[in-house]
A and B are shown apart, each in its own frame.
Chain A
Amino acid sequence: MADKKKRRRAAADSDSDSDTLQFKSKLKPDSNILQILKTLKSSAANTAASEKPRPLSELNLATACREVADLPLSSVQSTIESLALSLAHSILSGNGFSFSVPSRAAANQLYVPELDRIVLKDKSSIRPFANVSSVRKSTITTRIIQLIHQLCLKNIHVTKRDLFYTDVKLFQDQSHSDAILDDVSCILGCTRSSLNVVAAEKGVVVGRLIFSDNGDMIDCTKMGMGGKAIPPNIDRVGDMQSDALFILLVEKDAAYMRLAEDRFYNRFPCIIVTAKGQPDVATRLFLRKMKMELKLPVLALVDSDPYGLKILSVYGCGSKNMSYDSANLTTPDIKWLGVRPSDLDKYNIPEQCRLPMTEQDLKTGRDLLEEDFVKKNPGWVEELNLMVKSKQKAEIQALSSFGFQYLTEVYLPLKLQQQDWL
């Protein structure tokens, strides 16, 4: 079926303009590209085998760092209970109560090049009840802890939205309860998933992947165009099998749609994942699990703007907000396939598809240049410098100016053939 499609496509393309042809003619037969991808996969598998995850304690870092672990429900419960007892004792002895909350501010973050991810340093702040500025937060903290305790007793999962709606009057805004939830997992020293609180489904996956979701086998090639929603709690996911050669990470829903509809994964066996913008915890956990179990190389397709690179860095090195759990959330060794600032000229993307960068964009770009996780990769620094200098950005959709299927038929195959990733 794929062959038939290809023939039809070739006929349709015969009248396309010279620009498209110029790049199309460079394309070698798919078998050559597949060969390249196979070597990529095997080398990725080899490095993954040789690289053992190094625990933080072995690194002898100058500052102490805080990391959380996946805890079983019973130990979460007992941690909460001993915390509650100490709070009660403190109140009964007339001292009020307070929490010691690890700080998640930017100053308390550290990029560890050996691990290639951000970790949280051990600075923490006291959150006393009897203080006007922290009374609200400490009250919300007690309330969240009590709600988590109930979840432990009943052994059920709820969403962040559910949690918010149990006491709207106190929480006022979901962003408040969400932020405190992260604080609580820091205080208790466990991952957010072990608190049995999940976020709503956001990410989707399609392609050559079979896994079990809560016991049901899912074949991601047979999930229609939209693909399979990534389950919010990773515990449900298991038994991953795949014949894919690589994982393609896509920033945008629109590009994902194009790839899924064109069944790109049938031409080049791959798994396509998107979180539709900034990735949520579930997508990051899922990507990491795929990478670890299937030992596949990960290639990223993001917009050519500072936010594209930022999203890439969140998958790769973790976000500052959840750096305490970066060990479980990050996927090492993600390659930046496109759309890179240098591609704009390389692929003759027309002027009308390029956008001028705003002041805010430029500032974000310059800030990124200062970040360690960008600096460690000279290729990225070069690309980012080019972007800031040309003051132009472009979305993945800019490629549609050569035809809607240019992305799947010319751009990506050519990129793969030239091994043009950083």
Chain B
Amino acid sequence: MEVGGSSESPSETKKSKSKTPRKTKDAAQTLKQKSPAEFFADNKNIAGFDNPGKCLYTTVRELVENALDSAESIAELPIIEITIEEIGKNQYNSMIGLADHGRVDEALYDDFETVKAREKRLAKEARIQENQAKSAALGKKGKAATAVKPIKSRETSYYRVSCKDNGRGMPHDDIPNMFGRVLSGTKYGLKQTRGKYGLGAKMALIWSKMSTGLPIEILSSMKGQSYSSFCRLDIDINKNIPHIHVHEKRKNEERWHGAEIQIVIEGNWTTYRSKILHYMRQMAVITPYSQFLFKFLSGSPDKNVTVRFARRTDIMPPAPLETKYHPSAVDLLLIKRLITETSKQNLLQFLQHEFVNVGKSHAERLIGEMGTDFSPKMAVKSLTSQQIVRIHQLFRQAKFDDPSGDCLSPAGEYNLRLGIIKELHPDMVATYSGSAQVFEGHPFIVEAGLSLGGKDVKQGLNIFRFANRIPLLFEQGADVVTRTAAKRINWNNYKINQTQDKIGVFVSIVSTKIPFKGTGKEYIGDDISEIASAVKTAIQQCCSQLKSKIVKRIQAREQQERKRSLNKYIPNATTAIYDILKEMSRAHASKKRRYDGKDAELLKQVSAQLVTQETLREKLAQHVEQVDYEMAMEYATQTGVNEEPREEIYIPPLEAQCSFTEFHSPIFVFRLFN
């Protein structure tokens, strides 16, 4: 980095000179430049590439999210195919052209079992067997025979991950730079975006370079192109430039558009299997308008996995709009960047056009407030750093209208509800969409869904978190949604049992800037009161929607179980009463006590076994029967005819070529066919 020497005062230069001799002594301290690609290779954990398992997971999610973005950008319903293929060691070696070497010196390897270790293991196994035999002899139902742990193998596993979509595709000439150069995007302005790191497939490419050294393969075609582009490349990490192996045009006869990316990386399927499947499932919840086909292929067919997430609707949320910064959301550096990038000439225009919620008169007032050395007509590029600090100060102190949420694209209650129904098949579902709110100059919208019961849902709280319409899977414990759902919602109020019921809590937060916490950008902190209260309100709204339904269901269940729960107590009650009667009749017979009239009659019948416990029981059962009948009638007249449970079906149109106009509402879409 070069420092502008002209502005430095002489005294400072002197100082730095006096220091230099000491520095030069330290010969190792030579100034080195690091390319962005190198930086990310060294710090791959900040982009979610912590360990081989997580690398596989993050690669999948980056590819899927790129594919979704690409399809949505041309308003095409996404169809995405993800395949993970396990590559054996031999296959990998042959791919890179390495001859297979068998082990010669076994003791050289880490998993070699020494004689001592072997004796130890055998002794342990014998002991376990002995114990099992003993407990079996005693008829004890001990722990199921614990399988002897297989010796851990340190063999690395390799996977070919490929992702095919029907999106926009990429222009032929841009492909090498889109993959082979980190931080090459020229994103200008502010927008709700899916990617968390903005690195996409590039980081996956760096990882493949680090772990396998194999290049990435891209096949892409844009709409209307008669050819498709094929490119095989890897990245020169030191120079941060693409290293192209093949870059050619191929025939594209079926007029396919989209992209297919193939990459070979080191990974770990066994430990991250459930995370990847959860990710796919949650993605299917939040994007019910897309279709996913997920495949895992390996050498042994019994381990193969194929999951298909079908499309449930053909309504997509509108693409998020690009917006300008809100004055209260910018920092010094950002103002400087905006100044260098702006096409506006003077300060007035700059304020008016590069920020939201600053009108012309407002901008004039602001400039007046800045001080005497500011004027509306002054050239914006000539502002000194002191003047920029003044602008920044004013932005912090002055009052601006809150940014509107129009630029955001929430999933929408419609899609959220369909997504939940599609993937969980719950007994009940409620959704709520909050209005836009503001945190530090960035608008955000919180949407929530709540489901009860369903398929593959465990008892208790199941939290599904989404930020800018992508699922968050890690660091759940500290997240604002988890905390709110577990601690601040009184589920009992809504007749929901927090430990027994299968509760699905879905919260989707969209914003131009999600305030992630931690390096991994995996959770949203619990310390932002605006977001915490918005999440709480959204969940509570869903709860109160469900409450009346739950109450009705409880009533219906009571209705069904009334007779049974009443009959259960008949023997207890009649035995107690009959016992007293029997004692009394004994006293009556022995003339110890006297009773008159019908009481005496009753006691006589008891002595004569004309009235027995059985009689009381029958009579009480008859009464219960009658009461039950009356109450059932009353219930039926109150609630009306029972509604038959309806099956919800979705029939996609065969030929979606009709032209129509859509009218969107948060909960339904109205289509006018022309």
Interface residues of A (CB under 8 A from B): 80-82, 84-85, 87-89, 91-92, 94-97, 129-132, 135-136, 138-139, 142-143, 145-146, 149-150, 153, 170
Contact = CB atoms under 8 A, between A and B. Distances in A.
A379 to B, nearest CB: 40
A87 B561 CA distance: 25
A138 B574 CA distance: 11
The 7 closest A-B pairs by CB, nearest first: A96-B623, A146-B576, A130-B627, A84-B580, A142-B576, A139-B569, A139-B573
A132 B562 contact: yes
Interface stretch (B113-121, B153-161, B527-535, B611-619): B611-619
A170 B598 CA distance: 32
B580 A91 contact: no
Nearest to A129: B573
Contacts of B558: 132
A91 B566 contact: no
Nearest to B617: A91
B577 A146 contact: yes
B599 interface: yes
Contacts of B569: 129, 135-136, 139
A88 B616 contact: yes
B584 A84 contact: yes
Contact of A84 (B562, B566, B577, B611): B577
Contacts of A150: 583
23 contacts: A84-B581, A85-B584, A91-B577, A91-B616, A92-B619, A94-B623, A96-B620, A96-B623, A97-B573, A129-B573, A129-B624, A130-B624, A132-B561, A132-B566, A135-B569, A136-B569, A138-B573, A143-B573, A145-B580, A146-B577, A146-B579, A149-B579, A170-B572
Given A97-B577, A146-B579, 19 more contacts: A84-B577, A85-B602, A88-B581, A88-B602, A92-B616, A94-B623, A96-B623, A96-B627, A97-B573, A129-B573, A130-B627, A132-B561, A139-B572, A139-B576, A143-B576, A145-B576, A146-B576, A149-B579, A153-B583
Contacts of B626: 94
A81 B558 CA distance: 34
Contacts of B565: 132, 135
B622 interface: yes
A84 B561 CA distance: 29
A156 to B, nearest CB: 15
Given A84-B580, A84-B584, A94 B573 contact: no
A351 B562 CA distance: 59
Contact of B577 (A87, A130, A132): A87
Contacts of B627: 96, 130-131
B213 to A, nearest CB: 64
A142 B577 CA distance: 7
Contacts of B579: 146, 149
A96 B624 contact: yes
Contacts of A153: 583
Q: Name, among B558, B566, B616, B626, the residue most crowded by chain A CB atoms within 10 Å (CB to CB).
A: B566
B259 to A, nearest CB: 60
Given A130-B624, A132-B558, A170-B572, A81 B580 contact: yes
A323 to B, nearest CB: 28
Nearest to B584: A81
A130 B631 CA distance: 11
Interface in B608-645: 611, 615-616, 619-620, 622-624, 626-628
Contacts of B577: 84, 87-88, 91, 97, 142, 146
Interface in B561-601: 561-562, 565-566, 569, 572-574, 576-577, 579-581, 583-584, 595, 598-599
B573 A142 contact: yes
B615 A92 contact: yes
Contacts of A81: 580, 584
B365 to A, nearest CB: 48
A130 B558 CA distance: 13
B350 to A, nearest CB: 53
A74 to B, nearest CB: 10
A148 to B, nearest CB: 10
Given A96-B623, A132-B558, A132-B566, A85 B599 contact: yes
A149 B616 CA distance: 19
Contact of A94 (B581, B599, B619, B628): B619
B321 to A, nearest CB: 47
Contacts of A146: 576-577, 579-580
Contacts of A88: 577, 581, 602, 611, 616
A146 B599 CA distance: 18
Contacts of B598: 89
Nearest to B620: A91
Nearest to A78: B593
Nearest to B616: A91
Nearest to A128: B627
Contacts of A132: 558, 561-562, 565-566
A142 B572 CA distance: 8
Contacts of A138: 573
A96 to B, nearest CB: 4
Given A91-B616, A132-B562, A149 B624 contact: no
Contacts of B620: 91, 96-97, 129
B558 to A, nearest CB: 6
A142 B571 CA distance: 11
A89 B602 contact: yes
Contacts of A135: 565-566, 569
A184 to B, nearest CB: 12
A151 to B, nearest CB: 12
A272 to B, nearest CB: 44
Nearest to A136: B569
Q: Name, among A87, A89, A135, A170, the residue most crowded by chain B CB atoms within 10 Å (CB to CB).
A: A135
Given A89-B598, A130-B566, A80 B619 contact: no
Contacts of B580: 80-81, 84, 145-146, 149
Interface in B38-84: none
Nearest to A87: B577
B571 to A, nearest CB: 9
Interface in B268-302: none
Contacts of A94: 619, 622-623, 626
A139 B573 CA distance: 5
